[in-house]
Every structure is written in C-alpha cells, then in structure tokens.
C-alpha cells in the first residue's frame, strides 16, 4: 500500500498535519483585520462602540484602527493568532481524518449525524491545546492606542491575566476562562461546518458532472466552505459572544473573572438580545472567506502533498 493511502504510516500523518497547519495559517492571515474588528465589537470596546450597528461600522472601525495604530494595528495580536491557528488547524483537520476512520467505516455510515460527530470530535481535540493563546490574543486585540504603551504588550497581557482576581483555584486556569462555553460552542460549530461541507460535497458529486467538478474544483471548494462557515456561525454566535466577554473580562469590565451567569446578565444589560449578536455582520464577512480559504487551502495542500 502506498504512503498516500496507508493512513497508519507516520509519513501520512506528518503530511496531514502540515496540510492542516498551512490551511489555518493562510486563512487566519487573510482575515486578521476583520477578526480584530469583530473582537472589538463583541466586547463593546468603549473606543469603538460607536461603530456597532452601523452599515459603515466595519470600514469605519478599520479606518480608525489604521489612523490611530497604523497598518500593524490591524494585525495586533496576530502572532498569537498564528500560534493558535496553525496548531489548531493542524490538530483539527488531522483529528477529523482520524475520527472519520473511526465513526464512518463504510458508505452506509456516512450520514449527516455522523459527519457532525466527526467534526465535533475534531474541534474538541484541538481546543485544550490552543485555548490559552486565544485568551491572550483577545486581550491583545481589545488593547487600543489610548492605553499606555507598556500596557499594549503581550507580556503585560499575560501578566494581567495571570494576576487577576478570580475564584479559580489555580492561576494557570485564568488562561482557560470561557473554556466551558468555548467547548459548548465548538461541538455544534465545528460539527456543523464539517457536516455542511461533507453534505454539499456529496451533493456536488451526485448532481454535477466529473468534468465540471474538476474544472471548477477550487471555486466549488471556496463556495462550499463559505456556506459551511456561515451557517455554523449564525447558529452558534451567541455562545461566541459570551466566550469573548469572559476572555476579555478584567480589561473591558470589572477587574475580575466573569462567570457564565454574570456574563449573560452583563450582555443583556448592555445591549438586550441584540447584544448576543454584536459583531455578527463582521463575523459573517470574516467567517465566509476564512472557511472558504481554509477548507479550499486544505484540499489544495492535500493534493500537493499527495494525501
């Protein structure tokens, strides 16, 4: 059996990890400026709250960041994004391949439910490894030019997270604030992405000719990936807003870790039910190209690496 098809070989898994990491890095770099705007909107950052709810809010916020912080302000915290996104995608896509082997053993088992289960398993496998980078990145993203320079560094963000007051028994758990909500959201989010992805891919094989699919392979992957990302984003967005609030607590709100109930009440008092969808517009503008690029880049990398 060739190394390409022998999924028990070390070579196969190394190439799978490289393909996944490449896809995650390319996708995250492409949408990094939009990601920062989304975080600022979700956490109701006082410097940018005036842009929320306006159709001109996204370009207005991007211009404001560029004017106050320059080009690199659009990529504040991006090194941490890559430190999280590359291993997260590498683990996630590789775990997805492994979970498919475990859960979907034959074409008869290839159902929508099993596709969702495999996607959920992949998301849950990657989250514990990369979550602390996400917390630090969010703290960096909500830091604006109005803060003193010494408070806009990664080391200050790490130190402030570590030393903040909370009821958690161990300080390193501060870097896992919002983890339970993230895990709760990851299961339907990642599961939904892969379920829609695999379902639409299957439908395209049934309804479109092989010649058409081969000629438009990259376009189809981009379109299907965008639809998969958009549907999952809308379905799980309130959980993401709760998670962002918890991750940013201590910088944007009271100087302590906010629990689940306290976070929900804070969002409700701040914006009512609409508060749970703050930044959804920029989220969709970001998620559609991100998942399009990520899934398409993953497929392209698999082809190049002969997986």
Do residues 263 and 272 make contact, with C-beta atoms less than 8 angstroms apart?
A: no
Question: In percent, how much of the chain has pLDDT > 70?
Answer: 88
**Which position has the token pair 């859960």?**
103
- 85-89, 111-115, 168-172 — which is least confidently predicted? 168-172
d(Cα 18, Cα 303) in Å, to the nearest integer? 12
Q: 149-188 burial, b if ≥16 CB within 10 A, otherwise e?
A: eeebebebbbebbeebebeeeeeeebbbbbbebbbebbbb
| 221 CA to centre of own chain | 19
Give the pLDDT score at 34: 86
Give the pLDDT score at 26: 93
Residue range 134-151: mean pLDDT, rounded: 72
d(Cα 79, Cα 165) in Å, to the nearest integer? 27
* Per-residue confidence band for 144, with pLDDT thresholds at 50, 70 and 90: low
pTM above 0.95, yes or no: no
Residue range 138-157: mean pLDDT, rounded: 72
Give the pLDDT score at 15: 93
What mean pLDDT is reported for the chain? 83
Q: What is the pLDDT of residues 247-274, one digit of tens each?
A: 666 554 445 566 778 888 888 887 788 8
Give the pLDDT score at 3: 47
Do residues 48 and 279 make contact, with C-beta atoms less than 8 angstroms apart?
A: no
Give the pLDDT score at 1: 45
Closest among 197, 169, 183 to 294, alpha carbons compared: 197
Residue 93 has pLDDT above 90, yes or no: yes
d(Cα 204, Cα 185) in Å, to the nearest integer? 28
Give the pLDDT score at 158: 87
Q: Which residue has the higher pLDDT, 182 or 208?
A: 208
Give the pLDDT score at 6: 62
**Which position has the token pair 């940013």?**
248
Q: What is the pLDDT of residues 8-62, one digit of tens each?
A: 778 888 999 999 999 999 999 988 898 888 888 877 777 787 887 777 888 888 9
Structure tokens that stand for 187 in this block:
């299961």
């Amino acid at each position: 059996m060739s190394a390409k098809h022998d999924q028990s070989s070390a070579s196969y898994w190394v190439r799978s990890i490289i393909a996944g990491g490449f896809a995650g890095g390319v996708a995250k770099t492409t949408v990094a400026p939009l990601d920062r705007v989304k975080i600022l909107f979700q956490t109701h950052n006082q410097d940018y709250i005036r842009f929320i709810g306006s159709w001109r809010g996204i370009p207005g916020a991007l211009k404001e960041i560029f004017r106050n912080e320059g080009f690199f302000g659009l990529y504040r915290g991006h090194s941490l994004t890559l430190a999280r996104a590359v291993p997260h995608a590498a683990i996630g896509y590789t775990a997805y391949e492994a979970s498919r082997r475990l859960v979907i053993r034959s074409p008869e088992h290839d159902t929508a439910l099993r596709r969702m289960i495999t996607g959920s398993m992949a998301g849950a496998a990657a989250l514990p490894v990369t979550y602390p980078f996400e917390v630090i990145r969010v703290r960096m993203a909500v830091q604006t030019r109005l803060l003193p320079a010494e408070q806009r560094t990664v080391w200050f963000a790490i130190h402030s997270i570590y030393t903040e007051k909370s009821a958690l028994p161990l300080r390193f758990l501060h870097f896992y604030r919002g983890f339970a909500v993230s895990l709760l959201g990851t299961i339907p989010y990642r599961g939904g992405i892969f379920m829609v992805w695999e379902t639409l891919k299957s439908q395209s094989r049934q309804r479109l000719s092989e010649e058409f699919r081969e000629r438009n392979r990259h376009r189809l992957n981009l379109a299907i990936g965008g639809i998969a990302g958009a549907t999952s984003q809308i379905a799980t967005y309130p959980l993401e807003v709760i998670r962002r609030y918890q991750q940013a607590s201590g910088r944007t709100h009271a100087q302590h870790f906010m629990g689940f109930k306290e976070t929900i009440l804070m969002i409700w008092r701040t914006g009512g039910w609409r508060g749970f969808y703050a930044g959804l517009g920029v989220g969709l503008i970001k998620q559609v190209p991100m998942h399009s690029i990520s899934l398409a880049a993953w497929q392209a990398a698999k082809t190049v690496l002969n997986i």
